[in-house]
Amino acid sequence: MKIREATSLDVSAIVDMSAKFYATTDYRHIADMCADTVEALAKTLITSGIMLVAEDAGEIIGMAGLYIGPFMFNASKTSAYEVVWWVSPDTRGSGAGKELLLAIEPAARAKGCASVQMLALATSPAHTGAMYERLGYGHSETAYTKVI
């Protein structure tokens, strides 16, 4: 298995994985996933954010995408904000998720980020928060969403 930066050649696989990921989230109750929107997002993360893929035997089995933007309380600092971190269910337990997570910090540091913010969705595996904490992340926020 190899972790690498995504390229434009990976966009189709990223959109396909995103559809599988999105179907497991509560965000599906807000709107259907739009493949064109996700394609544009993937291209943006590849060019001006962080978009990593886990590849095994030529097949993309996981991804991590983060938006890079100003830190909300001091624009002189930039931060990386998770958009997606997902591994195909049939390859979970392979270490791809952890390897993607470990690759995020050096990628963010290389792009000048002062911090990384990762999320745990209500539908995330129960061990997600514990994994973040083992790797040095502190619990900083809990979000709630209401469909209006």
Is residue 19 within 8 A of residue 37, CB to CB? The reply is: no
Residues in CB range of 21: below 8 A, 6 or more apart: 84, 86
Residue 71 maps to a domain: yes
pLDDT at 82: 94
pLDDT band at 6 (very low <50, low <70, confident <90, very high): very high
The CATH number linked to 16 is 3.40.630.30
**Cα–Cα distance between 118 and 58 in angstroms, integer?**
27
Predicted confidence (pLDDT) per residue in 35-92, tens digit: 999 999 999 999 999 999 999 999 999 999 999 999 999 999 999 999 999 999 888 7
**Cα–Cα distance between 97 and 87 in angstroms, integer?**
6
Residue 10 maps to a domain: yes
**Cα–Cα distance between 22 and 64 in angstroms, integer?**
14
Residue 94 maps to a domain: yes
CA distances from 53 to 21, 67, 95, 145 (A): 14, 15, 13, 28
Predicted confidence (pLDDT) per residue in 33-51, tens digit: 999 999 999 999 999 999 9
Domain total for the chain? 1
Is residue 41 within 8 A of residue 61, CB to CB? The reply is: no
Per the structure, the complete domain to which residue 56 belongs is given by 2-134
Residue 116 maps to a domain: yes
Residue 147 maps to a domain: no
Residue 146 maps to a domain: no
- pLDDT above 90 (res 144): no
Residue 57 maps to a domain: yes
Residue 140 maps to a domain: no
